[in-house]
Structure 1
Amino acid sequence: MGGTAEHAVVIGASIGGLCAARVLSDFYDRVTLCERDALPDRPANRPAVPQGRHVHLLMARGAQEFETHFPGLLDAMVADGVPILENRPDCIHFGAAGHVLGTAHRLQDEFTAYVPSRPQLEWQIRKRVSALDNVEIIHATVTQPRFDRASEQVTGVHLESGSVLDADLVVDATGRGTRLPAWLQQWGYERPREDVVFVGISYTSQRVRVPDGLLREKVIVAGASSTQPLGLGMLFYEDGIWNITTFGVGKAKPPQDYAQMCALADEILPPHVGAALRHGTPLDDVAHHKYPASRWRRYDKLDRLPAGILPFGDAVVSFNPTFGQGMSMTSLQAGHLRRALETPGADVVRETIRATAKTTFPVWTMNAIGDLTMHRATGPAPWWYQPVGALFDQFLGAAETDPVLAEWFLRRFSLLDSLYMVPSARLVARTIRHNMTLWLAQKRAGKRPVTFEAMRETR
C-alpha cells in the first residue's frame, strides 16, 4: 500500500464506487465505502440498482480493465459459471442501427468476452473489495459532505445517524441521482454545465429458461434503427437463464408482456430465435424501467472546484444503456484515478476529471450522433451530425457483408483499438467501392437503384 494519505470516503457501493475504493486502497491508509442499501451476500438484484434487472453487456475492453484492477476476476467468474463468448460466428448475433454484423465470419481472439449478469459482476467485485484489509464497507446514508469554507475543501461526510466521517478525499459515486451540483451551488460554486440527449428509452425485461439445444448464441442484440424504434437484447447468463430486455427509443412503447416480446423477436431477429423463445418458460414478473436522458456533467469546464471531492462513474456521465458501454467506461475512469494518484504533486481531482472528459468525448459524441440521427432522440445537434450519421449508416450497411469493415466496427464498438470511431481513408474508400458494387448490380439487374436503405434490404 502506498499510504500517501490517511482516509478516503466513497459514497455509493455500486460498480463505480467499488472500483474507486479498490484504487484508493493502494494509496490511502483507510478507505470507507458508505452504502445506504443493504448489500446481499450473494449475486442478487438490489433496490438501489433498479436497472440491474435488465441486460448488461461487458465490453471486451471493460473485461480487460476490470482484470487489471482485480487480478483473477475473469477466471473466478468463469469458475462460477459465467459464459465466455467463444471465437465462432454463431456465438453472437449483433445488430446495430438495423444492420447485422459479426455473424458471417470468425472474430479475432481479442473479442473473447465474458457474459456476467450485473448482480454477478457487482458481487464478484464487492467480494474482492471487502477482502482488502484497509477497506470497510458500512451500511450508512450520507446526507451531505462536510465543507470547510475557510480552506475551500471538503473534509468529510455527514451521516444520517448524526455522526461525521473525517476524510482527506470524498468520492461521489452516487450515480445519475448525484446531488453534487446542488452542493456546489450551496457552497458558492457554479453548477457544472450539463450536456443532455433526451433518448426517451423504456425497458421491459424478462428472465426465461429456454430448453437446451435451441440456441447456440450467447449474445443476441438487435438495436433500434431509424425505421424501427424497438430493439431487443438477449444474454445467456451464469445461471443458465436467458435475460431478455426489449426497449423502445424516442418514447416508443416496448412490449409489455412475454407474448409481445416473442412477437418482436419474430419481427427483428432470425426465425429460430423467436421459435426458441416460444418454447421458453418465463421465471418471474416482467420488470420495467425508464431512462429518459443521457447526461454528461461537465466538471471539466468549471474554473473553480472545492478540493477534496471527486465525482465518479455515472455521477459524471451516464451513457445510453442500449449501447452497453457504461460499465466499461467506469472501469476506464478507475484507471484515470490510479494514474493521477501515482503522479507526484498532481491535483488528483482535476487530473481525474480531465482524463475522464478526454475518454468520454469520443464515445459520447458517437452515441449522440446515433441517437439524434437514427434513434429519434432530441437535444442540441451540430449541423454535421446528420451527414456523419448518414455516412456511418452506409458504413454499417457495407460491414454486413464485408468482414474487414465489420471487424473494425466491432473492435471500436468494444472500445479495444480506440475510443474514436473514425474510419481511415482506406476504409471509407472500401465502403464506397462496396456500396457502389451493390448499386451497379442493381442497375445491371434492370432494377431501379433507389436509396441505400433499399439496396441494403436486398442483401
Structure 2
Amino acid sequence: MGRKHAIVIGASLGGLCAARVLSSAFDEVTLFERDPLPDGPAHRPAVPQGRHVHLLMARGAAEFETLFPGLLDDMVACGVKMLENRPDCIHFGAAGHLLGTQHRLQDEFTAYVPSRPHLEWQIRRRVLALDHVALVNHGVDEPVFDGHRVTGVRTADGAMVEADLVVDATGRGTRLPTWLSQWGFERPREETVDVGISYATHQLRIPDGLVDEKVIVVGASRTQPRGLGMLHYEDGTWGLTTFGVGKVSPPTDFTEMRALAEEILPPHISAALYQAQPLGDIALHKYPTSRWRRFDQLDRYPRGILPFGDAVASFNPTFGQGMTMTSLQAGHLRRALQEPEPESTFLKATTKTTWPVWTMNAIGDLTMHGADGPAPWWYRPVGALFDQFLGAAETDPVLAEWFLRRFSLLDSLYMVPSARLVGRTVAHNMTLWARSRRSP
C-alpha cells in the first residue's frame, strides 16, 4: 500500500483520532467534514448526543493521552475536573446497586470529566495544528472503487480526490454497507439490541458547596427503568441527563427531573437541584438500537477503505463506553498500519475488543433493562449471577474495586470474575443472609 495520501470522511471524535494516527504513517492526510466546525468548545448539530452527559473512562483518558501528549494537563488547566477514586468524588449506581462510594479503593486511578464539546475541541485543535493534516469543509459523495480497491473519493461537487487509504468515520449512519453492495461485495451482518433509550438533558448551575461529587450516575435496573447522570463540567456548570430504557420515556421537564432525583439520589444531591439555576432549554434525543456491523466476518473485503468508530459499533450510551472504545480503535489502527494488509488486521483487532464489551452490555440490556433482541440461553443465568455479584459489591470494597476497574475498561475488557471472587461473593451474600435471619 502506498503511503502518500490518506482521507478521513468525518471530523468528529473518531475521525480526528484516525487522522492523528494516519498523520504518522502518510505524507498527507485530508479530513472531509460537511458541517462547519466551531473555533472553540461548542455543541454541533452533527453530534446529536453532544448535549448529553458523556463519561470518559480512565482507560479512554490514558489512550487519548498516548495519542495527544499533554492533553490531560491542558484539560485540567482549562477547568476540567479530575475524578480520583475517593468516596467524595463519585456516586455510582449500577443495576440497582450503589457501588464505590463507601470506601476508598486500594488501587489508584484517575479519570477526567470534560464535556463532549470541550474534549472534541481539545483534540480537534491538536489534529488541525499538524503540518500535513488538512481540513476540507466539504461533503463526500462516495468512495471510488476501481474493481480491485478503493482509490479515493468523489466529493459532493463531483471532484475526484485520489488516496491510498480512505477511513469512513461517518458514524452510525455510515453508507459503507451500501457501497460494498454496489461494488459486488456482501453487506456485513448486523448484531442489534433494541435498547429503546430516550434522553432528556438540562444544563444547570448549582451553587458552590452543595455537592462534592463530580460524577453522579444511577443506571436503570429491573425495577426502575429510568436512570440519571450528573457531571460537573469545566465551565462550572452541570449536565443533568435523565433517561429511560426499554422504550420508557424519561422526565421531560425540570420539575419531573427533580422528582426522579428525589427518588433515586441521596438527599443532599436531590436537594441541591432545588437551588439550581436551569440554563437554556432541555435537549431531547432517542437512541433506539445498539448496532455492531460485522465487517470482520465478510469472506471478501476491498482494500483501501476502513470503517472507524461508530461506523463499526455503537454501544448503549448509558454505559458511557463509546469514547473509550473509539480510543482503543485508534490503537488498533496504529498497529495495523505496520502490516502489509492493514484492513484485515484492523478489523480482527477491533473485533477482539468489541466482543467482550458488546456481550456484557447485551446481557445487561436484555436481562435487566427491558431491551428486545436475540439472546442466547446463557444470558439470563449470567445476568442473574452478575446481579448477585453487584449486590455483594455494595458492601465489599474488593468486589467494588474489581467491578469499577473493569467497568472503566482498565484491567481487562472481560467482566468475568475469577473463581476466588465468585467464592468471595457467595460467602459475602451468605453472611448477609444469615445476619438478616438473626435480626428481628
1:360 matches 2:358: no
Separation in structure 2 between the aligned mates of residue 368 and residue 87 of structure 1, nearest angstrom: 27
**Residue in 1 aligned with 2:387?**
393
> Tell me, what secondary structure is at the counterpart of 2:337?
helix
**Residue in 2 aligned with 1:324?**
320
> Tell me, what secondary structure is at the counterpart of 2:211?
coil
Separation in structure 2 between the aligned mates of residue 143 and residue 108 of structure 1, nearest angstrom: 52
1:219-234 → structure 2 map (5 Å cutoff): 219-234=215-230
1:36 matches 2:30: no
Checking the alignment, whether the CA contact within 8 Å between 1:60 and 1:110 is kept in structure 2 is: no
- Please state how far the C-alpha of 1:110 moved relative to its aligned partner: 3.7
**Residue in 1 aligned with 2:65?**
67
Matched to 1:373, the amino acid is T
1:256-275 → structure 2 map (5 Å cutoff): 256-275=252-271
Give the alignment partner of residue 121 of structure 2, picking from 120, 123, 129. Answer: 123
Structure 2 regions of 5+ residues with no counterpart? none
1:384 matches 2:382: no
Q: TM-score, normalised by structure 2?
A: 0.99
Separation in structure 2 between the aligned mates of residue 153 and residue 110 of structure 1, nearest angstrom: 47
Separation in structure 2 between the aligned mates of residue 357 and residue 87 of structure 1, nearest angstrom: 30
**Residue in 1 aligned with 2:3?**
5
Q: TM-score, normalised by structure 1?
A: 0.95
In the comparison of the two structures, how many residue pairs are matched? Answer: 440
Separation in structure 2 between the aligned mates of residue 36 and residue 402 of structure 1, nearest angstrom: 51
Separation in structure 2 between the aligned mates of residue 220 and residue 440 of structure 1, nearest angstrom: 32
Checking the alignment, whether the CA contact within 8 Å between 1:224 and 1:230 is kept in structure 2 is: yes
> Tell me, what secondary structure is at the counterpart of 1:287?
strand
Name the % identity: 74
**Residue in 2 aligned with 1:282?**
278
- Please state how far the C-alpha of 1:109 moved relative to its aligned partner: 5.6
Checking the alignment, whether the CA contact within 8 Å between 1:220 and 1:234 is kept in structure 2 is: yes
- Please state how far the C-alpha of 1:108 moved relative to its aligned partner: 4.4
Checking the alignment, whether the CA contact within 8 Å between 1:148 and 1:155 is kept in structure 2 is: yes
1:180 matches 2:166: no
> Tell me, what secondary structure is at the counterpart of 1:55?
coil
Checking the alignment, whether the CA contact within 8 Å between 2:85 and 2:108 is kept in structure 1 is: no
**Residue in 2 aligned with 1:145?**
143
Checking the alignment, whether the CA contact within 8 Å between 2:105 and 2:397 is kept in structure 1 is: no
1:17-416 → structure 2 map (5 Å cutoff): 17-108=15-106, 110-149=108-147, 152-343=148-339, 345=340, 347-416=341-410
- Please state how far the C-alpha of 1:443 moved relative to its aligned partner: 1.6
Separation in structure 1 between the aligned mates of residue 306 and residue 238 of structure 2, nearest angstrom: 37
Separation in structure 1 between the aligned mates of residue 276 and residue 106 of structure 2, nearest angstrom: 32
Structure 1 regions of 5+ residues with no counterpart? 447-459
- Please state how far the C-alpha of 1:4 moved relative to its aligned partner: 6.1
- Name which of structure 1's ranges 108-117 and 161-170 shifts more when overlaid on structure 2: 108-117
Checking the alignment, whether the CA contact within 8 Å between 2:2 and 2:164 is kept in structure 1 is: no
Matched to 1:386, the amino acid is R
> Deviation digits for residues 204-262 of structure 1, max 9, x if unmatched?
00000000000000000000000000000000000000000000000001000011100
Which aligned runs of 4 or more in structure 1 are off by greater than 4 angstroms? none
> Deviation digits for residues 368-403 of structure 1, max 9, x if unmatched?
000000000010000000000000000000000000
- Please state how far the C-alpha of 1:86 moved relative to its aligned partner: 3.1
> Deviation digits for residues 352-372 of structure 1, max 9, x if unmatched?
010000000000000000000
**Residue in 2 aligned with 1:456?**
none
CA-based RMSD: 1.0
